[in-house]
Amino acid sequence: MSPSPQPGPVPAHPPRPNGASRTISEASLQRVQNLPGYTTPVFKGKEEQRAKVQAEVAAKGFIARELVANEVNWFYSHLGIDDTYFQNESVSVISDHIIALFGAKVLAYTKHDPNKLVIDLEKIDEKGNGATFIHTSRPGLTSKEGPGATCESRIDALYLDNPTPEKCYRLETYRSTGSISATASQQLRCYFVTKCNFPSPPPPSTRTDGKTDIRTVSDRSFLEKATEHTLQVYQEIVWQVESRSGPVMEVFEVEGSRERRLVIGYKMGGTSRFFSALSNLYHYYQLYSARKYVEQFSNGVTIISLYLNPMPNSSAPPIENSIIQVMKEASLLYCLPDNPFFLDVSDANHAVQEATYAYCGWVFAQHFCNRLGPAYLQLKNTLDESNPAHAEVLNNIKRRFREETFTRESIAQVIHAHSELVRLLYVNFAMIHYPAATDASLMPTLSYQRLQTTQPLSDAELYDKIRRSVPSKQDLQVLESFLIFNKHVLKTNFYQPTKVALSFRLAPDFLPEIEYPKKPFGMFFVIGNEFRGFHIRFRDVARGGIRIVMSRNKENYSINQRMLFDENYGLAATQSLKNKDIPEGGAKGTILPSLGANPRRCFEKYVDAILDLLIPGQSPGIKERLVDLYDKPELLFFGPDEGTADMMDWAAMHARDRGADTWWKSFTTGKSAQRLGGVPHDTYGMTSLSIRQYVLGIYKQLGLREKDVTKVQTGGPDGDLGSNEILLSSDKTVAVIDGSGVISDPHGLNREELVRLAKLRVPVSNFDRSKLSKDGYLVKVEDQDVKLPSGEIVLDGTDFRNGAHFRFKADLFVPCGGRPEAVNISNVAGLVDAEGKPHYKYIVEGANLFFTQQARISLEKRKVVLFKDSSANKGGVTSSSLEVLAGLALSTEEYLDLMIFKDGKPSDFYKSYVKDIQSKITENAAAEFQCIWREHARLQGAKSRTRISDELSSTLNDLQAELEASDLFDDPPSRKGVMQKAIPKTLVDQVGLDTLLDRLPESYQRALFSSWVASHFIYKYGVNGSNVDFFHFARDLAH
């Protein structure tokens, strides 16, 4: 039975990609006959069962004999309970339910109030095979007390929220047609949960097009009960769910009635507590459900079907309008199903849109209300930040300020206390970001009509009203943060018909300069049900890793939550220093999953929500055009970081599936080489190559022979940096410290054995002890009470490992792994002996942030030759930058042909391109080393290398920004001359320079041009190069 279209004009829409869903306006035109979508099997043994039940109820003696027949008859014939119940339940359970119902009636009678009649019957199978719940329910109302208040949320938690193909459930629930008794008007709501029984093996598919055949993934009883039309509808929805991330929603109107059927499909695990949240939503619009079904399929799809009707004498908008609004708001509920500002039944003023806005403002306020204020500024101006002790004090005070001013709870109280002001703030937000109707003939949506009923205030009027209405300074600051949020959102997917999380592109102008001295170029703010996240970048064209910040416990989660934005800002700023001589500026993303959340799912939602803001919507009813106040195309480049290394392939492929035809190849770096043409840093030793240039530079400048140099390294042969440091060096390594323990030998560790471990990528705990001298030893983290050759007793191997870098002495220290801030101002004294002599003469920082800035400066004051991380380990970012360039420069066909392995082997082009990358890394690292060394010598050591490195990065970044804004790029000979040198030769030879310049986005070309010019000028003339020097340099660019 196919839906017959309603007469009247249907708006024209572009063709739907991949069988995309109809628009919301079209969806409401689908009609179905007034027949149930499921057949209810008639229970043939019902009369026989009734007789047995009557006998059992009488035998139990709770009900007077003369009343038994009447009560059983009422239960079987007048309540309108579906035959499913009688078929599923045993005689004894039904008898118990009839007695319980009778007892509840007697209790209500003694209270002289038929409305006090509460029924609460349930049976949960202990083996997890299902459950039955029956309770009193008034249609169209969310129960605030009694069994109905928690029943659906329990069903979500017990059966629907965490399904696996082996543990799926189906749910049928309906309202009884009759009332409970002659005096009480309540109806019963019955829920039947049954564990899915999927045939094994599944039946063969009848399809030849490779698509899922719904009959092969369905529960047996669903196939018995579903009508042919229901199977057709669900089949279409299954296909759509499989092809996209967000929920799929369809509405059907039932002929000859005002009933509407809302069908929602989504991937299992995509949301939680959704079934119960939907009831709150349609109750808000004074609708009630006659029947509801939840089906879970073995291919990971869940479908919910709601049969909705308007309440008699309803004061709400007619169902013909409100059903479209229910659909729209269901997509917000999918993102935030347990939003406290919607689920608070004592305050039902907020529709889902207002409540979702309140939630987003709540999270925003948590991060941006706790500002430091004038007292901190005064302190900052008094203390000397270059003094490590002062800097530490300032840092601790900053942390205290953040913790104690505004809590999550106090901000939520303000929102609840001022719900009318929050509503006005929502209207202020919506008037900017609510998309205008694209077709004037379409009815304005209900949310738009609702906006019109509230007189929108200008920003000044709204601020004035808030200021006059809110006497408390703290409350005022919270509500002001909502206004700040409104004014700085440039685009959002808030009103996108389908989404998996909420994303906002913010203008970062509101960040106070006192705390964030370097203003970011742009920031994204993402809120999901089980996570929150940021993305910050310091230039238009920027790249950096996406980090998942995991929390060990509730206390740790609270700390991570408070510090998330600051951590993100710090990481992105550090990345900017490192990205000094490549086109991409610094960027970083952070994701904070809630306790117990699946980190991969959080990452996937984060990426999809950001893509909503990067790819213009083209599919009406799915992804539509947004209000874009930024109004320029944006490109982000994501890289791997803690917790996301194995997710880069998925993100690139997802961007391709979402329609990023030209840039999916460059959207992520760190992709797998064989499958997606990535360039893995560890395989080709990219990061180690730049570290190596600094080590070799020191040897050369100081006339050292490598084999005579003693070295200690953290990060063992099992890691990327540690293994490549071993393979590239030929020094006398006296100790290696890694996650498994400490290996040491004052006479030098056996080089062949170290190389063996590095090639196998196994930790030092596998070192062959027979290769140690009599003074050498291996202490594993699990060891206790170990005696060293010196006679010293090691009580605990883990404690010994954690402090081992403080006990050794050597010429050179190369940290290639370890925790951030392992050496800080409070423990740096441990690297100096009793006579004031440092343990190490030279330090090349391979691992990120191993030393704090204060610790570096302290060591340099003691004449240690130290090169910090942002200079030494930039080989990885150079490699990733050139991976991005290949993705942007090659067409999809060329990329698949040249970058992706064939039969597990790379193409000649790929091998040649990797060599180009390696030589570019070596060239950049050697040039920067020389520049820092020269500048330090020129100043005769008056300025530390750490500060010179930072100044070099800042000067480079500033010059690059100036050049990007200048007209030097517009000079064709200079532009072509620079591009010829900046783009690897393998790529130019393959594609041709002119074709490359046609393909690369102009913003990227400007960034590439300015980064090459800035770095080559400064590496040649130093940070004090004059205007005359630049004139001579620029004159030769075309050659």
Residues involved in catalysis? 588
β-strands 301-310, 489-492 pairing: unpaired
Neighbour-count burial for 452-482, b at 16+ CB within 10 Å, e otherwise: eeeeebeeeebbeebeeebeeeebbbbbbbb
β-strands 502-506, 522-527 pairing: antiparallel
Strands (E), 801-868: 810-815, 840-844, 865-867
Instruction: Tell me the one-letter amino acid at 531.
Output: F
Of 54, 49, 46, nearest in space to 83 by CA: 46
Of 561, 571, 658, 538, nearest in space to 610 by CA: 658
Q: What letter does residue 823 receive in the DSSP assignment?
A: B
Of 658, 652, 643, nearest in space to 671 by CA: 652
Which residues lie across from 925 on neighbouring strands? none
Neighbour-count burial for 745-766, b at 16+ CB within 10 Å, e otherwise: bbebbbbebbebbbeeebbbbb
β-strands 542-548, 585-593 pairing: parallel
Q: What is the DSSP string of 929-973?
A: HHHHHHHHHHTTTSS-HHHHHHHHHHHHHHHHHHHHHSSGGG-HH
Displacement of CA 828 from its chain's centroid (Å): 36
Residues 6+ apart with CB under 8 A from 426: 353, 354, 357, 358
Helix (H) or strand (E) holding 189: strand 187-195
- 226 vs 232: CA distance, rounded Å: 10
Cβ distance 1031 to 970 under 8 Å? no
Residues 6+ apart with CB under 8 A from 874: 578, 579, 580, 581, 690, 924, 925, 928
In terms of Cβ atoms closer than 10 Å to its own Cβ (0-12, 13-18, 19+), residue 51 is: exposed
Which residues lie across from 263 on neighbouring strands? 250, 305
Cβ distance 715 to 846 under 8 Å? yes
Q: Which two tokens stand for residue 306?
A: 């709601």
| 3-class secondary-structure state, position 406 | coil
Of 39, 385, 508, nearest in space to 229 by CA: 39
Q: What letter does residue 984 receive in the DSSP assignment?
A: -
In terms of Cβ atoms closer than 10 Å to its own Cβ (0-12, 13-18, 19+), residue 1039 is: exposed
- 775 vs 772: CA distance, rounded Å: 8
Of 901, 877, 867, 920, nearest in space to 681 by CA: 877
Q: What is the DSSP string of 284-323?
A: HTTEEEEEEEEEE-TTSEEEEEEEEEEPTT--SPPHHHHH
Displacement of CA 882 from its chain's centroid (Å): 26
Residues 6+ apart with CB under 8 A from 459: 428, 483, 487
Q: What letter does residue 362 receive in the DSSP assignment?
A: H
- 4 vs 913: CA distance, rounded Å: 59
